[in-house]
Amino acid sequence: MKKMFKITTPEGLHARPVALLVTAVTPFECDVQLTYKEKSVNLKSIMGVMAQGVAPGSIVEISAEGPDAEKLFQTITEVIVSEGIGEEC
Amino acid sequence: MLEIQGIAVSQGIAFANAYCLKEPDLSYEEVKVADVDAELVRFKATVVKTKTELREIHEIAQEKFGAEKADIFAAHLLVLEDPEMLAAIEAKIQAGVNAEFALDEISNMFIAMFEELDNVYIQERVADIRDVSKRILANLLGVEMVDMNHLASEVIIVAKDLTPSMTAMLDTKYVKGFITDIGGKTSHSSILARTLEIPAVVGTKNATQNIQHGAPIIIDGTNGKIIVNATSEVSSYYMQQQRLQIEEQEELFHYRTLPSLSADGCSVEIAGNIGKPEDVEFVINAGGEGIGLFRTEFLYMERQELPTEEEQFQAYKSVLEKMQDKPTIVRTLDIGGDKHLPYMKLAAEMNPFLGYRAIRISLTQQEMFRVQLRALLRASAYGNLKIMFPMIATVDEFKMAKAILLEEKQNLENNGCTVSKTIEVGMMIEIPSAAIIADLFAKEVDFFSIGTNDLIQYTLAADRMNENVSYLYQPYHPAVLRLIKNVIDAAHHQGKWVGMCGEMAADEIALPILLGFGLNEFSMSASSILKTRAHFAKLSKQQLMTHNERILLLSTSSEVEEYVKKNQLSLS
């Protein structure tokens, strides 16, 4: 499963939004990746995601494989939208 | 007695004994490990132990500073639990090196990666990685980390630097101030000192070497001074200063919720200048009545390409929402001169301050200008927005900029977008030509904002970056004062208002003159707001107005200064 998001926080994916995302996905069993500029990192890794340096206004792809992937997407979409991190696209 | 000078970062004076924090010795040897499994077990057990420690600190910090400030430790825990980092360290250990070396290597690799990024927000997080890996390293080595939980008397902390986790353990019941060898005004510990309202002096270079543990010290966070083993004379001087400061603080605090009124009941507006959306908090905390200048350059700087409309919209909206119905003046992009954007590739110029900058760029590169205007117009629905254009020299420039604004507004409205109906549109007065024909501009604008830094440099033809001519930077030069008076009179004649957003707006000598001239709005850095409001409360506008004519006839800047002092206009 995969889904695209547009990042709208004015500073891009910096510490706070990354921490929210990592915290949200860590409890899930499935593997989850964030792809930005053709580079994929483990979304459960705060350092990996921060090192991507995702700029504001850019599009990222989140993909997950595993038994609870559907539930994971529900949660992550909710976090991204309600915390003002980005929007679905 | 010994005096040490550093950078003043958090004001106040305190007396206490020095508490010197020694950096723990975290040196280790790189060794080959034969029993790899045992080393892995040792590493994993240390991570668990460190996790427990961090959770405790997180809880303490939550109680002491609130959830938001304690967030930093939630982030530390995430770093500690990072599957990628742990896997990389474990892989290194598996290759046969000791855990200390593996940890250091991998965390340095991440630090290098972060430092390469173009994003300052992420660069700042390097301190967190260092902090976490130090903590694990200390536990691996069995070295005690610095512990401030057992303080039982008042102290002033002396340290090389304070890590975020050290500052989280600062208990202001006992910690009366701190002194560090390194750091600057914006470092983490300095910001925290201001939040906790304890005096702090940083960047002393060698305080840790010159101050003995337990020595009686005085810290003067206002002037960045530290006195060790003070004589009784010096001691009593600082006690008196401390009393005066406390009295002044109490008096100023009382002005936070008061309107800005002169002694004879005339009202002015005191607003704050900001460069970033976060700065709004400082203006609100200081009781600012609006934002008199929101410089939008920051949105365009330190990046690779132009900011999108959406990004700008979010930034403007966040400021407008925080200010609620208070006026917020946004200045459109003022780039060029000494401010450059690498991705815009502006040609180098012989006279950049007289060259292609600000509105001159906006009017020729209209697409970029229109993106900013659309973002502003969309954000206008969320507060009390006013827009002003920088560096206007001719009436045509203003008319053209305003026409583009109205065109974008019409387009947005046609597309069903909500735009405020009451956006005032004004201009900066920075160029003498505009100040001289202010009467003609006054028919076109809703307001003026006088930018004194540029107005002075253009009026006296003196580059403010050139030290050889810095004596010509004269805010009280009669030409400058006459221009200002002309602008205020011209605006008032058309029923318009005038603000000032340069350094002069908070200048003690200039204040009584400007109030007498009839300036309506004074915009300054947040830290000057309360002081200025308290100053106004002592001034009588009616009385100051009677000095206008005489002041305008003085022939030099120093005569003006003397006149204000001699007639005690600052105290009228």
Residues B311 and B313: their CA atoms lie apart, in Å, by: 5
Of A12, A26, A45, the CB nearest to B84: A45
DSSP state of B467: G
Residues B163 and B158: their CA atoms lie apart, in Å, by: 13
Strand B497-500 and strand B521-524: pairing? parallel
Run of H or E residues at A33: strand A31-36
Residue B152: name the closest of B37, B10, B17, B319 by CA. B17
Radius of gyration of chain B from Cα atoms? 28
Q: What is the pLDDT of residue B69?
A: 67
Q: How many Cβ atoms are within 10 Å of A3's Cβ, its own excluded? A: 15
Task: List chain A residues with CB under 8 Å of B113.
Answer: 51
Q: What is the pLDDT of residue B291?
A: 97
Q: What is the pLDDT of residue B251?
A: 84
User: Which residue, chain included where needed, has tokens 């004062």?
Assistant: B481
Of A19, A42, A51, the CB nearest to B75: A19
Residues B448 and B453: their CA atoms lie apart, in Å, by: 15
Residue B478: name the closest of B553, B548, B547 by CA. B553
- Distances from the Cα of A76 to the Cα of A85, B55, B212, angstroms: 11, 25, 53
Burial B305-325 (b: 16+ CB within 10 A, else e): ebbbbbbbbbbbbbbbebbee
Q: Are A62 and A11 in contact (CB under 8 A)?
A: no
Q: Are B96 and B32 in contact (CB under 8 A)?
A: yes
Q: Is A36 within 8 Å of chain B by CB? A: no
Each of the 572 residues of chain B gets a pLDDT tens digit; together they read 999 999 998 889 999 999 998 878 899 999 999 999 999 999 999 999 999 999 988 888 787 767 766 777 888 899 999 999 999 999 999 999 999 999 999 999 999 988 888 776 677 678 889 889 999 999 999 987 766 766 789 999 999 888 766 776 677 889 999 999 988 776 667 767 876 778 999 999 999 999 999 999 999 998 999 999 999 999 999 999 999 988 888 888 889 999 999 999 999 999 999 988 888 988 998 899 999 999 998 888 767 788 999 999 999 999 999 999 999 999 999 998 777 787 787 888 888 889 999 999 999 999 999 999 999 999 999 999 999 999 999 999 999 999 999 999 999 999 999 999 999 999 999 999 999 999 999 999 999 999 998 999 999 999 877 778 888 999 999 999 999 999 999 999 999 999 999 879 989 999 999 999 999 999 998 888 998 999 999 999 999 999 999 999 999 999 999 999 999 888 75
Strand B424-429 and strand B384-389: pairing? parallel
Run of H or E residues at B7: strand B7-10
* Inter-chain touch B85–A47, beta carbons under 8 Å: yes
In the predicted structure, residue A48 carries a pLDDT above the cut 60:
yes
Residue B114: name the closest of B106, B123, B105 by CA. B123
Helix axes B36-65, B99-116, angle to 10 degrees: 50
At A59, the pLDDT band (50, 70, 90 cuts) reads very high
Residues B76 and B277: their CA atoms lie apart, in Å, by: 26
Residues B17 and B12: their CA atoms lie apart, in Å, by: 16
Mean pLDDT of A61-84: 93
Q: Are B204 and B4 in contact (CB under 8 A)?
A: yes
Q: What is the pLDDT of residue A17?
A: 87
The tokens of B228 are what?
């060790």
Residues B398 and B395: their CA atoms lie apart, in Å, by: 5
* Inter-chain touch A57–B308, beta carbons under 8 Å: yes
Query: Which of A9, A14, A63, A66 is labelled catalytic?
Result: A14
Q: What is the pLDDT of residue B483?
A: 98
A17 is catalytic: no
Q: Which residue of A has its CA nearest to B314?
A: A10
Of A9, A12, A47, the CB nearest to B84: A47
Residues B111 and B447: their CA atoms lie apart, in Å, by: 49
DSSP state of A28: -
Residues A87 and A56: their CA atoms lie apart, in Å, by: 12
Residue B329: name the closest of B444, B422, B438, B423 by CA. B423
Task: List chain B residues with CB under 8 Å of A48.
Answer: 82, 84
Q: What is the pLDDT of residue B468?
A: 86
The tokens of B22 are what?
């020694």
* Inter-chain touch A9–B314, beta carbons under 8 Å: yes
- The more confidently predicted of residues A89 and A28 is A28
Burial B246-285 (b: 16+ CB within 10 A, else e): eeeeeebeebeeeebebeeebebbbbbbbeebebbebbbe
Q: Is B311 within 8 Å of chain A by CB? A: yes
Q: Are B285 and B526 in contact (CB under 8 A)?
A: yes
pTM: 0.61
Measured in degrees and rounded to the nearest 5, phi and psi for residue B51 equal -60, -45
Strand B7-10 and strand A31-36: pairing? unpaired
Task: List chain B residues with CB under 8 Å of A55.
Answer: 119, 303-304
Q: Are B333 and B369 in contact (CB under 8 A)?
A: yes
